[in-house]
Structure formats: structure tokens, C-alpha cells
Chain A
Amino acid sequence: MPEFSLQQALNVALCHACEDDDRVLIFGEDVGTLGGVFRVTDGLRDKFGEHRVFDTPLAESAIMGMAVGLAVAGWRPVPEIQFDGFSYPAIDQIANQVARMHYRSRGVLNMPITLRLPSFGGIKAPEHHGESLEALFAHVPGLKVVAPATPSEGYHLLRQAIADPDPVIFLEPKSRYWHRETFDPTEPAEIPPPGTSRIARPGEHGTLVAWGAMVARCLQAAELAAEDGVELEVLDLRWLKPIDADGLARSVARTRRAVVVHEAPLSAGLGAEVSALITERCFADLRAPVQRVTGFDVPYPSGALEDEYLPSVDRILTAVQTTLEYRRG
């Protein structure tokens, strides 16, 4: 069975998507000749030509606005914005146009747009290269938001995002681009149903809820906890909008404790949404309040302080301890 890094798996997914549907267009800054700054689009222009895979001027808002027009003209745009922080200049197009055109036109104009966005931190990058914007996008009606944690997820979720008739914001955990996994992309049994989460590790004493790069960190924490006899379940959410509320509730109702882990700042982050969903559905089952382990309410820091900012295994285990030791008044 072949082995892929996440970056390779995404590249293969784009390649297969282009092969399967000749209306798929890949464009963005440096995605052509260079193959993307992370090489996710490597070789695709040679393979599919400069009409299917093309470089754009450095203009994020126009990249997304152009995607709207291309979608109106019947194409299936897969734009890339080079780094998370640079999607801010395109927020108007994303939130006011991409997300709303279907609603505004009463379903006449479809927006099958997949925005690929190298996201999250952990690579000690310069400013604006390490943000976690999932809550911002998940808050906008009309958008779907997805974040893969593994190469096989990267492949399947990207294929599903591109096939989706609605706009999908596809958040690629750049710190995991070079993580490798063995899987067969042609194996149908491996394809996760759209909109579902995945139990990355089964456990019975509590659920760690995470997405993107934090799934791997939670797995590390779960391994350490297991040495002390605490079996933690790790739930990889995958779809951040719509969230797999049923899968989430099933896990937490069984384990009775939950810790949500994300890189984004705490306040009004997606952890609040996940906590609320758990409380609504599992209140009677819970043995402790839902804990959140997140980044802090500060701008994403420079590399020297990044490790202080990102949820560490220690912080995750401390939160687990809090839920385990919780006693009612």
C-alpha cells in the first residue's frame, strides 16, 4: 500500500478531482509554476495545462471574487489563499458573496467553491502565517468548514469538498503537511461519510475533541494518560461546519467527560460551540463541566513564544485531571 504525506495526499486529491471533472479549476498565488509554496499543487499545471491550473496576481479578494464569477459561469473553482492570515483581505468576498450567492439568488446560482487554506500554527512562521480562523468561517451561514488531521483524511475530505455543491473552506494543518501515513486512496471502504467525525482513539474515561494538528497532540496526551490507567477517547471532528453533533454526543455520553482542544484563541472560539453542543445533548451524562484547552486571547505570537501559546500535552493532561477530579458543590 502506498505511503503519502498530507501534502502528497492533497496533491493526489487535486489531481484526481481534475481528472474526474474537467470543470475543476485550480488557481491562486504561486500555484502554477512553483506548485504552491507548500508544493500541494506541484506538477498539476504541467499535467492539466495553464487553463486548469493558473497563477493569479497577488490579490486575495479578487481571487475569491473571481471564484464567484467562475461558479456563475458553470465552473468548479478550487482557489488557494496562500496563508490563513491572508484570507482577511478576502473576507468580504467570502462572507458577503461566496457564502450568500446561493441564498441571494434563491438557489439559482450555485457556488461549488473549495477554498484551500494552509492553516493553523506550529511551524514558527512569520506574522499572519499561523492563524486559526475556523470559528470566523464556521460562523458565516452558507459556508462549510473542514479540517483534515491525517493524509487519508486530507485526500478524502478534499475530494468531498470539491464535489460538494456548496462553498467549503478547507483548512489544511500546515504543521502536518509532512506527516506520513499508509493508505490506499482507491479503497472505497476507507471513505468517511461526509459530515462525520472519527474516533481516532477509543477510550472510556473522557473524550478529547480536536481537529487539524491538535488531533495528533491529543493522541500524544492520550498515550501518556494511558500509562496512568486513564483511557481517553480522541474524537477527530473533521467537519467544523456542520459539526457531527450526533457523533460528538455519542462519544461524550459514553465517556462522560470532555475536553475540547484547539489552537485558536479561547473567547468565542469553536470550543465554545462544541461545549454548548455537549451540554445540550449530554448534560445528564456529564460528570464534570466541559474543559477547553486553547490558544490564548492574543494575536498569534512569533515563533519564540509559539510553544507557550499552543495547547501542550501538559495543558491537555491538566484539563483532563480537572475533569477527573471534579466534585459537585
Chain B
Amino acid sequence: MHEADLPALHRLMVVARRLDEEAIALQRQGVFPAYAPARGQEAAQVGSAAALDLARDFAFPCYRELGVAVAMSVDLVGYLATHLNVWHGGLYDPKVSRLAPFNAVVGGPVTHAVGWAMGAKFDDTGGVAITYFGDGASSQGDVHEAMNFAGVYRLPVVFFCQNNGWAISVPAAEQVAGGSVAARAAGYGIEGVRVDGNDVVAVFDATRAALDRARDGGGPTVIEAMTYRLGPHSTSDDPGRYRTLEDERVWLDRDPLTRAAARLSADEVAAAEEHAATVVRGVRDGLLALKPPPAEELFSFVYREPTPALLEQQRVWKESLDA
């Protein structure tokens, strides 16, 4: 992917941005109980996910990966349904979309990617796992265990860290000893690269290089995409308590959408906006039409076959409804 593919990446970023804005609006309108905005991180998310081969790769996200879902063509109503509080993991099909369920334990999915990568290596599918986590998650033991595992076994996995500067209110300087997540890779004997996370083409190229290396048996890569969360951590957060407007202004000047748009024609940008508006309308309509799952599903999916105790609890619950 090079300059010539920028229009396609820009289109995906605009969808992610406008959908993110719509999600915040839905939260303000009382439709979403809460939402974790991704504004400012579109280039990191779209650029990396667009580099995946959806026929054989698999992604393991945390909870702020709307741009990843957009670039992977995940059912967006299903993806955002988790914010609607309809079902924790979302309503999309992880197997079909190649995106594991929405996961709120930062660091947890990073080990899953390593296991998946080992399975893909055993099956010789050429598939690569990518896992998304933040600078805050990089402090978690699971991330270190996962990187060490992947280094020992030289597994086809890409550790994609979106360093957005803030683990809720704690700045990266107080979160990441040594200042760099990518630099840690050296300690695990694996590749580590830092990339301008607001340059969508640069992110795409770095990710494609890491995926190619993994496919060729070159082992894992840590990519640290340097970016910024322009909005709050969640709709319940107040960044005014921990960072300055001046800081936000500096990063606003590096807005990944503005940067990409500057290299495109006015017509291309207008067409992207029009496309995004259509997508957003469709997703909004889809979300508003979404009904809560049948209450009986409270008991579904705990096991492949419900246990006698669970069936008994379901029966008692049903009786209490009928009473």
C-alpha cells in the first residue's frame, strides 16, 4: 500500500470518525449507557487492520477498536451493540469477521493472540495473529508473558500497541518505564518498531512488513503506534482534570484525517464524507432497531449443553415470570 491507496484508507478513517461521533451522540441521547471514543486513533486502527489478510489472519482486540472493526468489514451494528449493552462481546460473529469478541480486560487478549498464532503455525496456514492493546495495558503481566512466549516460540504474531499517551489519567511517562513499548521487544528477542500512528500509510506499511515477516517465519513484531486520544477515555471521563487544552490543540494539528485529506482532492474527500454519512445512517438505524435479546438467553451459551443446575435455575426463573 502506498500513496495510491490513500483514498481507500482515508474512506475507512472517515467512516470510523463519523461513526465514533455518532456513538458519542447516541450516548448523549441516552441510547448508549457509555462509550469509549476512538477519535484521533483512526490511522493506527485503520492502517493496521487494513493490512490484514482476512482469509487467514485473526485479530484480538480490547475495547477501543472501532476503526479496526471498520477496516475489517465487521458488522458494525453488531460491534457497537456491546456499547448498547445488548451483549458483552457484541453481536458480530468472531469467526466470520476474524475479530475476537470485544474484551474489557486490557492485556488479556494479548496472550490469546499468541496461542492462536501457535495453532496457525502448527496448521501451517500462513495466518498471523494481531492483537491490539494500549500503553496502559503494556504494564500488565500478561503482555510481558505473551511477548516472551512469542519470542521463545518465534510465533507469527503482531503486538500492536496504540500508545495514545494516556492510560485514562496517567500519562505514558508514568506508565511505561523507559518510555518505549517498542524498545521492550529487544528484551524478548523480537522486532520492535515505532511508527507515526497518525500517518495511516506509515502504519499500513509497518504492519504489512510485520505480517510479511511473520508469514516468512521471521517471528513476532511489536509495533508501537504513537498516537493520541483526542477525546476522553470514556463518556464518563473528564480529561480536563489531567491534561491541558494546549496539549490537545497540538495533537489536533496532527489529526490523522486532516493529514490524509490534505493529500487528496476535494472531490475524493467529499465522496468519502458522503459514503460515511450513508454508513452512519445505516448503523444508527440498525442500532435503534435492535431489540434486547430474548430474556431466556440469559441462560444460553454458558456451556455447549446447559447443566442440570442451570436448567433448574432457568425453570425457577420462568415460573417467577409466569406467577
User: A residues near B, CB below 8 A?
Assistant: 51, 56-57, 59, 61-62, 64-75, 77, 89, 92-93, 96-97, 101-110, 141-142, 144, 165-166, 195, 241-243, 245-246
Contact yes or no, A243 B119, CB < 8 A: no
| A109→B108 CA distance, assembly (Å) | 16
> Which residues of B116-168 are within 8 A (CB) of A?
116-120, 122-123, 129, 141-142, 145-146, 148-149, 152
| A77→B94 CA distance, assembly (Å) | 20
Which residues of chain B have C-beta atoms less than 8 A from A96's C-beta? 105, 108
Contact yes or no, B111 A62, CB < 8 A: yes
A-B contact pairs, 15 of them (CB 8 A): A59-B148, A62-B145, A66-B112, A69-B119, A73-B115, A73-B120, A75-B119, A96-B105, A97-B105, A97-B112, A102-B302, A102-B303, A105-B94, A142-B302, A242-B309
Tell me how far the C-beta of B137 lies from the nearest C-beta in chain A, rounded to whole angstroms.
13
Contact yes or no, A109 B115, CB < 8 A: no
Contact yes or no, A93 B302, CB < 8 A: no
Contact yes or no, B94 A66, CB < 8 A: no
For the complex, count residues of B whose C-beta is within 8 A of A. Answer: 46
Instruction: Decide yes or no: A103 and B302 within 8 Å by CB, A65-B142, A73-B119, A109-B94 being known contacts.
Output: yes
Contact yes or no, B152 A57, CB < 8 A: yes
Contact yes or no, A65 B111, CB < 8 A: yes
Contact yes or no, A142 B303, CB < 8 A: yes
Interface of B is mostly: helix
Which residues of chain B have C-beta atoms less than 8 A from A62's C-beta? 111, 114, 142, 145-146, 148-149
Which residues of chain A have C-beta atoms less than 8 A from B100's C-beta? 72, 105, 109
Contact yes or no, B111 A66, CB < 8 A: yes
Contact yes or no, A69 B101, CB < 8 A: no
Which residues of chain A have C-beta atoms less than 8 A from B129's C-beta? 69
Contact yes or no, A166 B303, CB < 8 A: yes
Given A62-B111, A69-B118, A89-B141, 7 more pairs with CB closer than 8 A:
A69-B60, A93-B111, A103-B301, A103-B302, A104-B103, A108-B93, A144-B303
Contact yes or no, A69 B117, CB < 8 A: yes
Tell me how far the C-beta of B66 lies from the nearest C-beta in chain A, rounded to whole angstroms.
18
Interface segment among B83-91, B205-213, B236-244: the answer is B83-91
| A22→B106 CA distance, assembly (Å) | 33
Tell me how far the C-beta of A176 lies from the nearest C-beta in chain B, rounded to whole angstroms.
26
Which chain B residue has the least Cβ–Cβ distance from A97?
A: B108
The reply on B320 being an interface residue by CB < 8 A is: no
| A107→B301 CA distance, assembly (Å) | 5
Contact yes or no, A51 B302, CB < 8 A: no
| A243→B88 CA distance, assembly (Å) | 28
Contact yes or no, A72 B116, CB < 8 A: yes
Set B87, B120, B146, B308: member contacting A65, Cβ < 8 A:
B146
Which residues of chain A have C-beta atoms less than 8 A from B291's C-beta? none
| A93→B114 CA distance, assembly (Å) | 14
Which chain B residue has the least Cβ–Cβ distance from A141?
A: B302
Contact yes or no, A109 B101, CB < 8 A: yes
